[in-house]
Chains A and B, each alone.
Chain A
Amino acid sequence: MATPTTNIAAHEVAHDLAPEDLATVSRQTSIYVYEAPVRMWHWINAAAIVVLCITGYFIGSPLPSMQIGEATDQFVFGYIRFAHFAAGWILTIGFLGRIYWAFVGNHHARQLFYVPVWKLEFWREVIFEIRWYLFIAKAPKKYVGHNPLAQLAMFFFITLGVSFMIVTGMALYAEGAQQGSLTDTLFGWVHGLTWNSQRLHTLHHLGMWWIVIFMIVHIYVAIREDIMSRQSIVSTMISGHRTFKDDRED
């Protein structure tokens, strides 16, 4: 797939190939967009977020009390909190790694971290995408990376959303880690903004729902685009290759 071939010998062609498909098969129709570290981060991040949402919900609203043994033999809530903190650290370190990759990776790896607000063309395409989702535009455009509307959503929900959750989450973690700990030194200042940590808990909790809303939209749109757009979406998250479904320009 990576190397373009113009002639395909008969023995290389699968037996189910109809003659009219030959033209399509013999053309390179994919671009390598998402490098391995980006893909790995995506799935690690997704798994961490799922764990964080579930455990985080139960930290706010604990499960019914369980009587497995004496309190010393039982660590149910402790494990839920441990899973939350472990996933939080994985998310944080993963996010730092992702920022690093934005510097050393290809230009698609940088798309997550900025919105080209200064480009008129960007906003024109945002409006076009909104028209596409409102069923006004007849056909979608082709995009190698994220489309402008997706870029905007990714930036606000993931880049800003996850940053917010990391900063508030680490500040809350610092309360248990105690004064003078690394997290307290780095993130304790957040408590200086909210004072009563109950407020910070509430903000962190609302942040979870911000991410949940993103998940709903993200998964829906990824599947919908995979079916209705002119390029691959879901398989791209796994292979990194964007394939296109037609030869028309734009």
Chain B
Amino acid sequence: MSQIETFYEVMRRQGITRRSFMKYCSLTASALGLGPAFVPKIAHAMETKPRTPVIWVNGLECTCCSESFIRGAHPLAKDVVLSMISLDYSHVLMAAAGHAAEAALEEAIEKYKGNYILAVEGNPPLNEDGMFCIVGGKPFVEQLRHVAAGAKAIISWGACASYGCVQAASPNPTRATPVHKVITDKPIIKVPGCPPIAEVMTGVITYMLTFDRLPELDRQGRPAMFYGQRIHDKCYRRPHFDAGQFVEAWDDDNARKGYCLYKMGCKGPTTYNACSTVGWNEGTSFPIQSGHGCIGCSEDGFWDQGGFYNRLTNIKQFGVEANADQVGMAAAGVVGGAVAVHAAVSALKRAQKKTQDKVEG
């Protein structure tokens, strides 16, 4: 594969018609929330720009991000996206293995120093000098630092790289640490989710290729176009939420009617992601649509927010697992009891003093 080939040339070489290519450009523009005026811009970028080199590394993770990515439901994404970027190193997708793979990595770093995008799937564990995750005979954290040094920007794929995910769940025995806490001197874009939606992943890459810069990020460093609103804000069951019509049990009539899953612990109201608009698997469905609440997989520390099926989070700071209501009611009960006792003693004291005054007077 010659590196000077443009995206368009790659697509044409793969037998994609210009008509399909233009369709792809307009679909991408709408996926990114851009107006029709941007379609020719995307097409132009695709026709003229050399493919951006991407190095994709994997730390502590389950590869669900890669799995999601290769299922890009976009009409052409499966074929195109892998050709759009020049994926120079990826455990999962590359043909080479062993020493050849590591040599390819070094070559890519050398060749594109300062120009490649580093995509990180998973995170480095820092305990025991990083021995909990070994890549090519060395701790992953070393590989990450090495590759990050020459990167133009870093994409943190998934909840692992963005926040830590399950391996960082309390008590986090391996000290799995999100990428932004290890690499602090590079622009990092977080694309959280377990996994992130395929179209979100391809959308972010396409944006970066088209405009040669990071998309607009929110406070936590997530692309605002996909993570700017909560699942709740665009949920098709929202009218039932406002009406106060909730599923009360998994097998009740309300569940069959498709009422709001708020009481069943749905984390839609606290989860920023595009599931309720983009959907999953070619827009077929998303968790709430299939009758299960959102588990908040694209939020920081989502494994540690109590049960997936509780509305109120259990807090462990008080020694026992209890939610805010149980803690508050216990505290209010103790204070209320103390007040009652104090009132009784006050009344007795007062009565005593009165009798005393009478005796003395």
Q: Which residues of B contact A80 (CB under 8 A)?
A: 244
B324 touches A196 (CB 8 A): no
A78 touches B305 (CB 8 A): no
Q: Does B219 make an interface contact (CB < 8 A)?
A: yes
Contact with A along B275-307 (1 / 0, CB 8 A): 000000000000000000000100111100100
Least Cβ distance of A168 to chain B in Å? 12
Q: Does B71 make an interface contact (CB < 8 A)?
A: no
B242 touches A77 (CB 8 A): yes
Chain B binding surface SS class: helix
A74 touches B244 (CB 8 A): yes
Q: Look across to chain A and name the residue whose beta carbon is closest to the beta carbon of B334.
A: A213
Contact with B along A205-217 (1 / 0, CB 8 A): 1101100110011
Which has the most chain A C-beta neighbours within 10 Å: B163, B219, B262? B219
B219 touches A65 (CB 8 A): no
A61 touches B312 (CB 8 A): yes
Given contacts A71-B245, A198-B296, A216-B335, contact A178 B328 (CB under 8 A): no
Instruction: Please measure, in the bound complex, the distance between the C-alpha atom of A64 and the C-alpha atom of B305, giving whole angstroms.
Output: 24
Q: Which residues of B contact A195 (CB under 8 A)?
A: 163, 220, 299-301
Q: Which residues of A contact B342 (CB under 8 A)?
A: 133, 220, 224
Q: Which of A61, A71, A178, A201 contacts B240 (CB 8 A)?
A: A71
Instruction: Please measure, in the bound complex, the distance between the C-alpha atom of A63 and the C-alpha atom of B262, giving whole angstroms.
Output: 12
Contact with A along B319-354 (1 / 0, CB 8 A): 000011101110110011001001101100110000
Among residues 152 to 187 in chain A, which have CB atoms less than 8 Å away from a CB atom of chain B?
175-176, 178-179
Least Cβ distance of A44 to chain B in Å? 24
Given contacts A62-B244, A65-B259, contact A192 B332 (CB under 8 A): no
Contact with A along B134-166 (1 / 0, CB 8 A): 000000000000000000000000000001000
Q: Which residues of A contact B331 (CB under 8 A)?
A: 209, 213
A209 touches B243 (CB 8 A): no
Q: Does B16 make an interface contact (CB < 8 A)?
A: no
Q: Which of A66, A133, A201 contacts B313 (CB 8 A)?
A: A201
Contact with B along A50-74 (1 / 0, CB 8 A): 0000000100111111110001101
Q: Does A75 make an interface contact (CB < 8 A)?
A: yes
Instruction: Identify which of B18-26, B41-49, B224-232 touches chain A.
Output: B224-232
Given contacts A197-B270, A202-B312, A217-B339, contact A65 B245 (CB under 8 A): yes
If A65-B259, A72-B239, A81-B242 are given as contacts, then 7 extra A-B residue pairs at C-beta distance below 8 Å, sorted by A number, are A60-B325, A65-B244, A195-B300, A205-B328, A206-B315, A209-B329, A228-B350
A/B interface sample: 21 pairs, CB < 8 A: A60-B325, A61-B311, A62-B263, A71-B242, A71-B243, A72-B239, A72-B243, A75-B244, A188-B219, A189-B219, A192-B219, A197-B270, A198-B313, A199-B305, A201-B313, A202-B324, A205-B328, A209-B332, A212-B328, A216-B335, A224-B342
- B residues adjacent to A (C-beta < 8 A): 163, 218-220, 224, 228-230, 233, 239-246, 248, 254, 259, 262-263, 267, 269-270, 296, 299-302, 305, 311-313, 315, 323-325, 327-329, 331-332, 335-336, 339, 342-343, 345-346, 349-350
